[in-house]
């Protein structure tokens, strides 16, 4: 397929970077005088020289210059490089938006890859029939779930400034008079000044409700409008290509964990969940009222001029009798009259008063009534687009805005069940029973229609909170609709009893009920989360055992024969290394899907991916391509965490592009035309066997270092800013599960975050090279590995993610972090091992991909990393020096807080530069 010339875009990107840098330099001069500006320029020059010629003398000179900085100037230098990187990110996002626009300006022979047009063209060119497209649309389902995982280092206040600068940069490009350009430049300079004068670091951890507010920001400013536009565009493009009017269902939805995720977060209570849903409802109703108000301005048609449907007239009469409200002062402007009634009902709904809408379906029915009447007299029977837009919003967001998932740890459920069963005299110590006896007890409880507890029973605080959580779920579904909460997720689900325990708790509040005739009513999906390597290996056995339980099968029948299963990328990677984790995830999906098919059960996989490569990160479309194709047809869920939210959903154009890529890939995959014939043959048994050998060797190498080297944890704790991360206040959840220092209790987010800061990015690549080399040494079959790379999307994504991780890792800079380790002999020994593995992995990746250098297949990203490095390097070197000083001080020392503040500023800056945190 033809593509537009990249040269103009690249030139304009460099121009944008230079333009913003020049404005920043003027701000630096104003805020810190020539001393600050000249120091920053000198450091930029030194850092670039270090990249051009990495001789020890350049490195030593840069380090010495940093050491000689007096504290006040040093702090300003840190901030200058951090802001510089933030502005680079804005320029790069503007470049992406411009590239999309340039494609759209071309004729229809030049179409942007993985756009909606590209996906529909693939369907058409591969002779996918209208009936097949309609079937694919029925199966199309993607749910993206935002979480409050603490990986976003940037305050929302700062992000809003970024958004304003991005909007101004876009306007500047399309402004042609000298005067207008001058005005916009002054506005950008003002925003950068405000950015400089705004505190970057949070003074305290955000509350859960603050995190809820942060999440709702993306719905309010971007998603509420982008999602319906994308649906409508797909419908229009399909109609244009096929000359057939398709109905595109609401296939793309957003969910949330914020306010529902209890795992390890003691701040999330039943009351928090209810308040979260109220805030979501408040926002969505407000957005509807804004949209209806805009629509009312447009629909001024008079019944004296056009003939409207009688059904509309009748509905207005009914509204007036029920509401005692006129709706609009001119009776002949019937649409305004009706929309006035709609506004009145929405207001009553928001106030929980009589006369409000029972549910979102009732609102949609009113809007469809208006649409039907408009089509009756409007040219070409085409309804007003704004009306279609609002109808689609109601279809997607309902009265709940986003489905809230509830998650808790399996051990919490077990403790509550133990207390309940002891109190009612069923068994004294349920927790001590073996798995078979547990299942027997739980099945008997589930088969008995009678409840175990009443509202008058009293339990321990923890158990009472658990019971209240389930009561809240029922209240939420009754109040906000079934879609308000659909899934209960079980962390560390290691046995069948872990799932049955949740059903018992659901039964106690009426969410699950067995009738005397044996029929089952169930209002909640129960989803196990398989998150360690052992969980993934044992997962198929758990699922098959569940499906063999007649009562559980009845529960599934009541839920539409759909089982949701969550897959954890973070803990499995921390447990066994990135390559082994991804292979075990792939295998588990295929095996569980095969089991489910044999029982006639549909599966929806929920991929718990993070933003960083060490936690399953990468482009949204790439994560879809890398899954076994058979798993995509029953619906896909993916978490969108931390910094991913701002990088993908802060700007409408970027959000649209990310979502259209995912839609295009998913639609063509479901239709079965996303692969060539060779792709369909992959993975062969030979390829799977190779992958198993590679994984086993990689796991052994990974665990030799991480679990079997007695000094490794000391190396990690002392050689990264792990201990300083806790002061960054970026999330309401603690860094460690139980407040212990055990590796097992360290959360995956700080594990990855700390390695990223030290530029080693070890979780994203370590041991993969040894695994690949072991296979090649044994078989000498490089051709098989190259075929796997060319024809197997999973393996291709694995190798390409390794390329990205190795490119972002910088062991020259990482070497400086070993100076923070007390035992230098140990530090050098482990770091030499890491360097050796880095070289092996790089050599293997280039051999398989048949490239001369990393990221040759994506030169834009390669160039981006190259340009960022000289701005990130000084921040890393300053960070090392500051941490060395900080760790020698007592927390009561007068210098401690100031030094810690500077360390946190460097962490923010490095995070901005690498575009990844945890």
* Active site amino acids: 149, 574
Structure tokens at 345: 């009902």
How many CA atoms within 13 Å lie on the side-chain side of 59?
12
Closest by alpha carbon to 409, among 549, 537, 571, 553? 571
Tokens 């069963």 found at: 421
Kind plus residue range of the DSSP H or E element containing 242: helix 224-242
Check: CB of residue 585 under 8 Å from CB of residue 608.
no
Check: CB of residue 790 under 8 Å from CB of residue 784.
no
Check: CB of residue 75 under 8 Å from CB of residue 905.
yes
C-alpha torsion sign, points 419, 423, 424, 428: positive
Closest by alpha carbon to 861, among 785, 791, 792, 916? 916
Calpha distance 253→393 (Å, rounded) = 10
Structure tokens at 584: 């075990």
CA dihedral (469, 471, 473, 474) in degrees, to 10, reads 170
Calpha distance 124→111 (Å, rounded) = 14
Cα radius of gyration rounded to whole Å, the chain: 29
223 DSSP assignment: I
CA dihedral (805, 810, 816, 818) in degrees, to 10, reads 40
C-alpha torsion sign, points 241, 242, 247, 252: negative
Check: CB of residue 254 under 8 Å from CB of residue 145.
yes
Q: Buried b / exposed e across 670-690, counting CB within 10 Å, b at 16+?
A: bbebbbeeeeeebbeeebbeb
Instruction: Classify residue 4 by burial, with Cβ atoms within 10 Å: 0-12, 13-18, 19+.
Output: middle
Cβ within 8 Å of residue 530, ≥6 positions away: 493, 536, 539, 565, 566, 567, 568, 588
Structure tokens at 498: 């872990």
Closest by alpha carbon to 291, among 369, 228, 358? 228
- Hey, is 256 helix, strand or coil? strand
Check: CB of residue 119 under 8 Å from CB of residue 665.
yes
Cis peptide before 683 (omega within 30 of 0): yes
CB atoms closer than 10 angstroms to residue 451: 14
Closest by alpha carbon to 767, among 694, 712, 818? 694
How many CA atoms within 13 Å lie on the side-chain side of 827?
16
Cβ within 8 Å of residue 864, ≥6 positions away: 92
Check: CB of residue 231 under 8 Å from CB of residue 250.
yes
Tokens 């630096």 found at: 28
Structure tokens at 617: 């990160």
Cβ within 8 Å of residue 700, ≥6 positions away: none
Phi, psi of 527 (to 5 degrees): -120, 115
Calpha distance 708→685 (Å, rounded) = 33
Strands 512-514 and 520-522: antiparallel
C-alpha distances in angstroms, 272 versus 152, 211, 729?
A: 22, 11, 20
């Amino acid at each position: 397929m033809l593509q537009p010339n990249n040269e103009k875009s690249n030139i304009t990107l460099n121009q944008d970077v230079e333009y913003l840098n020049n404005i920043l330099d003027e701000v630096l001069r104003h805020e810190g005088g020539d001393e600050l500006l000249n120091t920053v320029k000198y450091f930029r020059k030194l850092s670039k020289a270090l990249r051009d010629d990495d001789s020890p003398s350049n490195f030593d000179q840069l380090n010495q210059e940093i050491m000689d900085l007096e504290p006040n100037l040093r702090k300003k230098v840190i901030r200058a490089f951090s802001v510089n990187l933030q502005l680079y990110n804005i320029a790069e996002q503007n470049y992406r938006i411009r590239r999309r626009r340039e494609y759209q300006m071309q004729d229809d022979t030049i179409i942007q890859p993985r756009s909606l047009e590209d996906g529909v063209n693939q369907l058409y060119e591969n002779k996918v029939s209208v009936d097949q497209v309609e079937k694919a649309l029925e199966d199309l389902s993607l749910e993206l779930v935002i979480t409050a995982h603490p990986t976003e280092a940037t305050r929302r206040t700062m992000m809003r400034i970024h958004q304003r600068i991005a909007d101004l940069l876009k306007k500047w490009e399309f402004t042609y008079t000298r005067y207008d350009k001058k005005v916009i430049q002054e506005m950008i300079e003002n925003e950068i000044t405000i950015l400089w004068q705004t505190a970057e670091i949070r003074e305290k951890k955000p509350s859960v409700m603050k995190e809820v507010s942060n999440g709702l920001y993306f719905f309010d400013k971007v998603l509420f409008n982008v999602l319906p536009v994308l649906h409508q565009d797909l419908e229009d493009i399909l109609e244009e290509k096929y000359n057939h009017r398709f109905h595109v269902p609401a296939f793309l939805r957003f969910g949330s964990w914020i306010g529902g995720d209890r795992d390890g977060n003691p701040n999330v209570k039943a009351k928090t969940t209810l308040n979260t849903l109220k805030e979501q409802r408040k926002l969505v109703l407000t957005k509807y009222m804004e949209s209806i108000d805009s629509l009312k301005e447009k629909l001024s048609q008079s019944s004296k001029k056009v003939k409207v449907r009688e059904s509309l007239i009748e509905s207005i009469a009914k509204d007036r009798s029920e509401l005692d409200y006129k709706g609009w002062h001119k009776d002949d402007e019937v649409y305004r009259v009706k929309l006035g009634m709609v506004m009145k009902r929405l207001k009553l709904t928001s106030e929980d008063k009589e006369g409000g809408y029972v549910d979102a379906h009732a609102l949609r029915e009113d809007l469809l009534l208006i649409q039907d009447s408009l089509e009756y007299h409007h040219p070409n029977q085409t309804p007003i687009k704004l009306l279609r837009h609002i109808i689609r919003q109601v279809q997607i967001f309902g009265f709940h805005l986003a489905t809230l998932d509830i998650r808790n740890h399996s051990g919490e459920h077990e403790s509550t069940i133990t207390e309940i069963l002891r109190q009612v005299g069923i068994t004294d110590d349920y927790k001590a029973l073996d798995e078979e006896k547990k299942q027997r007890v739980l099945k008997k409880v589930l088969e008995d229609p009678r409840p175990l507890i009443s509202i008058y029973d009293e339990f321990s605080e923890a158990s009472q909170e658990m019971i209240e959580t389930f009561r809240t779920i029922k209240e939420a579904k009754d109040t906000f609709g079934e879609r308000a909460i659909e899934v209960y997720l079980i962390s560390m689900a290691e046995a069948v009893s872990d799932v049955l325990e949740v059903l018992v708790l659901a039964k106690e509040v009426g969410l699950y009920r067995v009738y005397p005739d044996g029929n089952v009513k169930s209002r909640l999906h129960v989803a196990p989360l398989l998150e360690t390597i052992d969980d993934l290996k044992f997962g198929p056995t758990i699922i098959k055992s569940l499906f063999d339980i007649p009562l559980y099968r009845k529960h599934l029948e009541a839920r539409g024969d759909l089982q949701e299963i969550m897959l954890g990328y973070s803990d499995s990677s921390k447990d066994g290394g990135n390559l082994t984790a991804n292979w075990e995830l792939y295998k588990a999906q295929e095996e569980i899907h095969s089991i489910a098919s044999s029982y006639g059960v549909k599966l929806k996989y929920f991929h718990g991916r993070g933003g960083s490569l060490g936690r399953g990160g990468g482009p949204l479309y790439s994560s879809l391509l890398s899954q076994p194709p058979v798993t995509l047809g029953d619906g896909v869920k993916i978490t969108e965490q931390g910094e991913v939210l701002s990088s993908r959903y802060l700007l409408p154009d970027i959000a649209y592009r990310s979502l259209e890529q995912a839609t295009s890939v998913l639609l063509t995959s479901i239709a079965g035309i996303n692969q060539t014939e060779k792709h369909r043959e992959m993975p062969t048994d030979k390829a799977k066997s190779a992958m198993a050998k590679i994984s086993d060797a990689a796991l052994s190498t990974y665990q030799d270092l991480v679990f079997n080297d007695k000094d490794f944890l000391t190396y990690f704790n002392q050689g990264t800013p792990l201990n300083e991360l806790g002061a960054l206040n970026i999330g309401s959840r603690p860094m460690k599960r139980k407040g212990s220092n055990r590796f097992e209790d360290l959360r995956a987010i700080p594990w990855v975050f700390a390695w990223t800061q030290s530029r080693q990015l070890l979780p994203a690549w370590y041991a993969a090279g040894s695994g690949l080399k072991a296979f090649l040494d044994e078989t000498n079959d490089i051709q098989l590995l190259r075929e796997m790379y060319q024809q197997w999307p999973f393996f291709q994504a694995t190798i390409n993610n390794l390329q990205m991780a190795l490119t972002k890792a910088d062991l020259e800079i990482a070497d400086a972090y070993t100076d923070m380790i007390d035992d230098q002999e140990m530090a050098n020994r482990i770091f030499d091992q890491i360097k050796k593995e880095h070289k092996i992995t790089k050599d293997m990746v280039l051999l398989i991909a048949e490239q001369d250098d990393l990221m040759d297949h994506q030169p834009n990203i390669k160039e981006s990393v190259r340009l960022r490095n000289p701005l990130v390097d000084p921040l890393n070197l300053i960070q090392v020096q500051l941490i060395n000083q900080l760790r020698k001080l007592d927390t009561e020392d007068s210098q401690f807080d100031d030094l810690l503040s500077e360390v946190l500023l460097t962490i923010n800056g490095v995070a901005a530069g690498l575009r990844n945190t945890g």
